[in-house]
Chain A
């Protein structure tokens, strides 16, 4: 699906933006559309992020890109972590993001927002991540939700407990952001 790609050719950009390929190339060359050339060739490539900001700047509707977005629920009590994930995922463009900072809110939003994937911090102010995990897993309607648990401490016992509670993946803080995003994309089959 063209809308969900992370890197685009000038032809694809022309399709999405409904402008001529010539215009796309001109904009690329004069710097209004950010991107890179495939090493050792003249082929121009535009990252999704750059495409979105180009479309926003030029008031081109984002409809073409919006469809097929995956819903992500980020649960962490640390505000800067939430901020970082939100920014990262929105910039990526393939995700619709909502956030929660307590286990209680996480449960509530799971009901309302019906996320495809949850990024779940282990240590929450009210209940621990494994409890949240188990509650979500206890409802058959949430069976398809993928859960990625994140924690600052990788105590082997805690990790085992989390996986037993139904987490699909465990990631230790700090992490490589590309690895987190690609693992997420993989889990929700993007």
Chain B
């Protein structure tokens, strides 16, 4: 692969192999022990009703997914309608539910690999977020006139972020970085995931859920819940459900329930409007939310502390049972007769196939089938795409560690074809395709490797590599007709998977492009409206200042000959107010078209100290109420000094108003960003904070929530504008009753 995993600019598509590896790792989902425990208890107790189990399962997304998936696997046919756990439990019975619980061992596996840092991706908080979105989606659906199918909404909400859990489980370190950056940079987490991992949680979630054969609506919600309503693909089936989940997700993030990895919020009013949810109903949903979530939390005992011993015990039982299952399977296998081996191999292969398999799945299935057929343990399937050969070790997803994974091999186009032209029977790999034989040699401890090619439309699309006794090969080559049909079946499946994967990737990339385009459009729109305001303000300044000059001038003339002091004062007020009106026009003009910055190197430490001195002078703050912490004294900024002061004066002015009447404490804190080319400065106040409503509009020009909100309507929005003007940005974080933090990211200068 050309690009390294951490290339910040990685476009989707360039990291395909890496993405495929990530997707291959995501076979099982981690889940929460609390839920598992409760469920194990319930399923073993004699007096449990189906309703109890349904309730517990519905609060855990991994189990919900698993069980819905199990139902579909159990009956491959007409079960598209199985959307709720209740139906699933009725269909499956308690036994199946217990086997779902067994999959929680995966959680233990993942959890032991990488202990989680509290501040990054907190799984309990994430779980709470998922649950909250599920509840919100259900409440919203209940409120919709056309009967939004509340139970289905609950499931869709619960699983919407399943991709995050999967990514966190597979790449805990990288994912912690994603969360850190998304939080600090106030970015959409999808963008950060793309940047760092090359894939985001929406696509991961979609793939995973499709793979589990869950109903399409669930996968579509996981895939498109960040998509603005206007940018939803026409072809999707559950657009209404996707919008419900999108709204629910933003609502929950806005209310700060649980933690989904970042805090940014789209305006909920617009989204509610789009799905036809009246404002009153939205308020109702918000009001009911905490109570509903609380109920679900109690149900799984998440408010209590879980006993690890109990859980470990449950896991041990689970493992034992799994072991017994495997043993009986082996016994059955031994009873198979040699003559039906081909048939069985083919049948096993077909049974393992699904419509959504990737090339790797097909290769692995084929390798497994071949390994069984030849009674060998080790087999490697490979698929040939445009310019490389990818290898898939049979059983790698089960217990094999990374050492068993093979990197892809670059090949020249057509060399594969030349290597194995007319062959459709077993042959020595070293003779026909030495490059490939070399590549996999170490897996077979130097034994001679045989190759069974997959043929489709007279071309080789892949194959299986394995070792077996010489006489075995001779015996199998005699049954040529069977061998050929086996190869053709493998070939057809592999070719189909290759074509379908390409199509699927294109579709996903298109949706991603759509989403970005929408963002770009919004930005363009903002730039355009600012340009329009600039033109308007310039025009208004010219048009307004003439009449203002006349009003002011005439008032001054009258004031000279005013009969009384009172009259003179009134006339002076007229001319003062004219000046004030002029000031507003000028500010508006400067907001829309700030003057070109002349950046210089500014030493952060000394600048912050002088800012503090200036503010201590002019405000009533005590020295210990204004704290400045600079993480690295060598840091410099590269900005326009005057605009820098204007930015922070506006922010501090706002903070001073927020702390009025309460204990004031301002903390200015700076941190360099990972790439070192920007510096983030945070100004934190201990004021009254902002409600979600106020926070949403806090950066709008002329927005003010003060009762007599006049005069400084451009404060924070002006600061944001000036930060942008200097190549930076500004964003807010605020909790009502706790305080507000304003973050300003600015270009860094050379280190002092």
Interface positions of A (Cβ within 8 A of B): 78, 80-81, 84, 87-88, 123, 152-154, 156, 172-178
Contacts and interface: CB of A to CB of B under 8 A. Distances in A.
Interface in B677-725: none
Nearest to A76: B546
A108 B68 CA distance: 91
A2 B125 CA distance: 88
Nearest to B550: A80
B595 A81 contact: no
A153 B550 contact: no
B542 A81 contact: no
A156 B589 CA distance: 13
Nearest to B544: A152
Contact of B550 (A84, A123, A154, A172): A84
A176 B552 CA distance: 8
Interface stretch (B169-177, B510-518, B575-583, B650-658): B575-583
B498 to A, nearest CB: 61
B545 A156 contact: no
Contact of A176 (B556, B582, B595): B556
A24 to B, nearest CB: 20
A190 B720 CA distance: 50
Nearest to A171: B549
Contacts of A174: 545, 548-549, 551-553, 575, 578-579, 582
A178 B559 CA distance: 12
B625 to A, nearest CB: 37
A78 B579 CA distance: 19
Contact of A152 (B541, B556, B579, B595): B541
A153 B541 contact: yes
A178 B556 contact: yes
B557 A88 contact: yes
Contacts, number: 53
B550 A81 contact: yes
A75 B557 CA distance: 20
Given A153-B542, A156-B595, A173-B549, 7 more contacts: A78-B546, A80-B547, A88-B553, A152-B543, A173-B545, A175-B552, A175-B553
B548 A173 contact: yes
A177 B542 CA distance: 19
Given A152-B546, A174-B575, A84 B541 contact: no
Interface centre among B544, B545, B552 (most CB of A within 10 A): B545
Nearest to B541: A153
B554 interface: yes
Nearest to A152: B545
A183 B479 CA distance: 112
A121 to B, nearest CB: 9
| Binding site secondary structure of chain B | helix
B538 interface: yes
Contact of B542 (A87, A152, A175, A176): A152
Interface centre among B538, B549, B557, B595 (most CB of A within 10 A): B549
Contact of B546 (A81, A87, A154): A81
Ordered nearest first, which 9 A-B pairs have the shortest CB separation?
A: A152-B545, A173-B549, A174-B549, A174-B552, A173-B545, A153-B541, A152-B542, A174-B548, A177-B556
A88 B231 CA distance: 63
Interface residues of B, number: 24
6 contacts: A81-B550, A88-B557, A123-B542, A152-B541, A154-B586, A173-B582
Contacts of B547: 80
Contacts of A177: 553, 556-557
A175 B549 CA distance: 6
Nearest to B546: A78
Contacts of A152: 541-546, 549
Contacts of B545: 152-153, 172-174
Contacts of B541: 152-153
Interface in B505-550: 538, 541-550
A84 to B, nearest CB: 5
Nearest to B581: A174
Nearest to B542: A152
A174 B554 CA distance: 11
A153 B548 CA distance: 12
A172 B544 CA distance: 12
Given A152-B544, A156-B595, A174-B575, A81 B549 contact: yes
Contacts of A173: 545-546, 548-549, 582
Given A78-B546, A80-B550, A175-B549, A153 B538 contact: yes
Interface in B550-599: 550-554, 556-557, 575, 578-579, 582, 586, 589, 595
Interface string B70-101: 00000000000000000000000000000000
Contacts of A78: 546, 550
Contacts of A178: 556
A50 B33 CA distance: 96
B464 to A, nearest CB: 74
A152 B579 CA distance: 12
A158 to B, nearest CB: 11
A152 B549 CA distance: 8
Interface centre among B546, B550, B557 (most CB of A within 10 A): B546
Contacts of A172: 545
Nearest to B545: A152
A78 B543 CA distance: 10
Contacts of B552: 174-175
Nearest to B575: A174
